[in-house]
Structure 1
Amino acid sequence: MTAATPEAASAPTGRKLRAALDAKAQALGFSSLAVTRPDAIPQAPARLRHFLDAGFHGSMAWMAETEARRADPRVLWPEVRSILILTMNYGPDRDPLTHLADPTVAGISVYARHRDYHDVIKGKLKELASFLVSRSGGDVKVFVDTAPVMEKPLAAAAGTGWQGKHTNLVSRQLGSWFFLGSIFTTAELEPDTPETDHCGSCKACLTACPTDAFPEAYRLDARRCLSYLTIEHAGPIPHEFRQPMGNRIYGCDDCLAACPWNKFAQAAQEAKLQARADLVDPPLAGLLKLDDAAFRQMFSGSPIKRIGRDRFLRNCLIAAGNSGDGSLIPDILRLAGDAAPVVRGVAVWALGRLLPAAELDMVRQRLASAETDDGVRAEWRATLTGAQEDIRH
């Protein structure tokens, strides 16, 4: 996006421009605007390399592939001179963890209970970027979690907040229920003052994690994180995380919800980010019945659609296995014969959690024709062995 008029070159700068940008951002529904320089995160390359060397990125190979651009905004776009960081609040209007009290329903992360935030925010960022160009000239690029940009360190450098012990951004004004977007510009803007860490001795987010995904404060091992496992991870979810997963089928908000700074958070103002009633604690029974067409229809325009029906049902079946609800067995039995190995395999695991041990081998014989994948056979072996162990003990 480039200025095309000579008037832009003589546009007002400094405080007047910043005041105009702040007002425009507020009018567009953004919660805050802050500015930083592209060289404001010199510690980022070493921290990213440490994260990658430890293997904490799991199967997210794109993080390593884009390491140089991710670590330094000037590698991503050499012409950038200033970076605007925008936030948009998506806070819940009720307790975000109500699903934990009822294992027969599904827990969906607050951010995914309505429209895809990429679609909502990107259009507004483009409008603000055009506004900036019309007043200061230059070129701009907008990003909403769709490019190798380290938004959280940049936002901390801009004074938006600080990265808490759970590695998420925390703001004294907004809590931590907000999205980040950025505008890279060739315009020279006055940077804001970085925020300092206000976590103190609090460890609420660390102790709240159901899978111990934090090897230490300020470090996250994504391979143990339920948000990674339920969204980014494509294969079977490792057995050690299935029971701790409970009924969380898309993301996990436990560490965010535990943060005491969220007492300052407000419910989402943007209508497209306010929760749909059918995505707040939906019954597992209905979700297990979704075929591909019904899945696509239910989650049209939702970030959940991105993971696809098979991965979604994988998550729902783990929740079903943890539910203790025998009424779900017929749907699980049907899915044990599904075309997708990742669905069949975890359906076997769920049956092992809900069916009496004496019935499992009979079920296996009935479903033998569906056992055409090594992973599914391994699930049966583990499930039957586990059932025998339960009988002996």
Structure 2
Amino acid sequence: MSADLKARLAAQARAEGLAKMGVCRPDAIPEAPARLAAFVDKGRHGQMHWMAERMGWRGNPAELWPEARSIILVAEPYTHEHDPLAVLGRPDRGAISVYAQNRDYHDVLKKRLKRVGRWLLDQAPGHQIKVFVDTAPVMEKPLAQAAGLGWQGKHTNLLGRDLGNWFFLGVIFTTLDLPPDDPEEPHCGRCTACLDACPTGAFPAPFQLDARRCISYLTIEHKGPVDADLRPALGNRIYGCDDCLGVCPWNKFAVAAREAKYKARPDLIEPPLAELAALDDAAFRMRFSGSPIKRIGRGRFVRNVCYAIGNSGDPSLASAVQALAQDADPVVADAARWAVVRLRTG
């Protein structure tokens, strides 16, 4: 019965637009607690203090919900239709990570997961589920590898032979006892394309990340000024970074996105930096309504835009940041002054 239910569940997940589903046990990642502890002990989590909190739950899903018997992992593609790295050759434009070029995936994927979950509960009355999309201390990537969806590559992101690495992960904990899938083995071989592509050297070793040097972390999670020695390496990346994902050879097998809400908005593919620098708080909120970019706030976003303008080498953009040198946000003001000086001195 459980095997049949799992097969029908996978079919239901596909009917909802999800590309792949796998199942593992709550105790499927016994190596996770030690890896997490080493990551935090070395300070590689930076300002993401939430990673150090409730480490027991994060490292051991069985502690998060002891009643759970199975963990269901799903993959939802957000594969792009344009070259995500082409914008890096246009220094007067801002580079926004592909995943953030339209609607916030947290909302879109969670609604889909809840529909799948309700279907499951209808088939198995008396059981319970918990649905997570980056909303709980859950280590989705190692769990997804344990469930056979793919493996954590040398860039620490999940990729699959039949998925590439442009996909989101969703998690359903359940009290149902479903047959687990076989874990996936790494298939990176000798390839180091992702490591070589990193502009800031954020990978101390293959399969290891130091978030403090990661552009995605620096432009999204990091509060306050970015270290001066890292600012030039940001280039024109103003929200996230796709470099290590974009060069992965396994992307030739990437699955097309089926969700229209992930289709890139034209105004977010290569937005003019001068236009973004002029955003006040109200304009920022309006422009990024429904976008994951909204959550970092106008201050952090315009800070990133100022760094990008400073890196542009285009003196005509100086006027876009000169007024911001007196911005009410001291971090924005600092970034603007840095940009002006950098444009003057090259």
TM range (shorter): over 0.9
Q: Which residue of 2 aligns with 1:143?
A: 132
Deviates more, 1:196-205 or 1:326-335: 326-335
Please say if residues 113 and 274 of structure 1, whose CA atoms lie closer than 8 Å, have aligned partners that are also in contact.
yes
Counterpart position of 2:114: 126
Q: 1:66 Cα deviation (Å)? A: 2.0
Once residues 82 and 290 of structure 2 are traced to their aligned partners in structure 1, the CA distance between those partners, rounded to angstroms, is 23
Indicate if the aligned counterparts of 1:247 and 1:318 stay in contact, CA closer than 8 A. Answer: yes
2:170 aligns with: 181
Q: How many residues align?
A: 345
Displacement of 1:266: 3.1
Q: CA deviation at 1:120?
A: 0.2
Task: Spell out, residue by residue over 1:191-215, the C-alpha distance to the aligned partner (whole angstroms, 9 max, x if none).
Answer: 0010011000100000000000000
Preserved contact between residue 141 and residue 185 of structure 1 (Cα < 8 Å): yes
Q: Following the alignment from structure 1 to structure 2, what is the Cα–Cα distance between the partners of residues 28 and 118?
A: 16
Mapped to 1, the partners of 2:66 and 2:6 lie a distance apart of 23
Q: Distance in 2 between matches of 1:238 and 1:192?
A: 44
Higher relative contact order (CA 8 A, sep 6+): 2
Residue 340 of structure 2: aligned partner: 351
TM-score by length of 1: 0.87
Normalised by the length of structure 2, the TM-score is 0.98
Asked if 1:169 corresponds to 2:158, the answer is yes
Measured in 2, the distance between the counterparts of 1:283 and 1:267 equals 28
**Equivalent pairs: percent with the same residue?**
60
Matched residue type, 1:316:
V
- 1:31 alignment partner in structure 2: 19
Pair 1:86-2:92 in alignment: no
Cα deviation, residue 16, structure 1: 2.1
* Pair member with larger Rg: 1
In 2, Cα distance between the equivalents of 1:304 and 1:167?
23
Q: CA deviation at 1:41?
A: 0.3
1:70 matched to 2:77? The reply is no
CA distance in 1: counterparts of 2:15 and 2:340, whole angstroms: 52
2:43 to 55, 59, 62: 55
**2:310 touches 2:342 (CA, 8 Å); kept in 1?**
yes
**Aligned match of 1:341:** 330
- Three-state SS of the structure 1 residue aligned to 2:331 is helix
Contact 1:141/1:183 (<8 A) preserved: yes
Contact 1:93 1:268 survives alignment (8 Å): no
Secondary structure of 1:249's aligned partner = strand
Partner amino acid for 2:196? T
Secondary structure of the corresponding residue to residue 239 of structure 1: coil
1:18 positional shift: 1.7
Distance of 1:14 and 1:307 partners within structure 2:
43
User: 2:231 is matched with which residue?
Assistant: 242
Alignment partners' CA distance in 1, 2:13 and 2:274: 42
Give the deviation of 1:320 after TM superposition.
0.2
* Higher helix fraction (1 or 2): 1
* Aligned match of 1:253: 242
User: In the alignment, residue 262 of structure 2 is paired with which amino acid?
Assistant: L
Structure 1 residue corresponding to 2:217, chosen from 216, 228, 237? 228
1:136 Cα shift?
A: 2.0
Give runs of aligned pairs for residues 306-385 of structure 1, distance below 5 A: 306-355=295-344
Distance in 1 (alpha carbons) for counterparts of 2:89 and 2:313: 13
Which residue is equivalent to 1:263? 252
Partners in 2 of 1:244 and 1:31 — Cα distance?
A: 35
How far apart, CA to CA, are the structure 2 residues paired with 1:27 and 1:267?
15
Contiguous gaps of at least 5 residues in structure 1: 1-12, 356-386
RMSD across aligned positions (CA): 0.9
Partner deviation per Cα, 1:5-52 (whole Å, 9 max, x = no partner): xxxxxxxx2332122111111111111110000000000000000101
The aligned counterpart of 1:110 is: 98
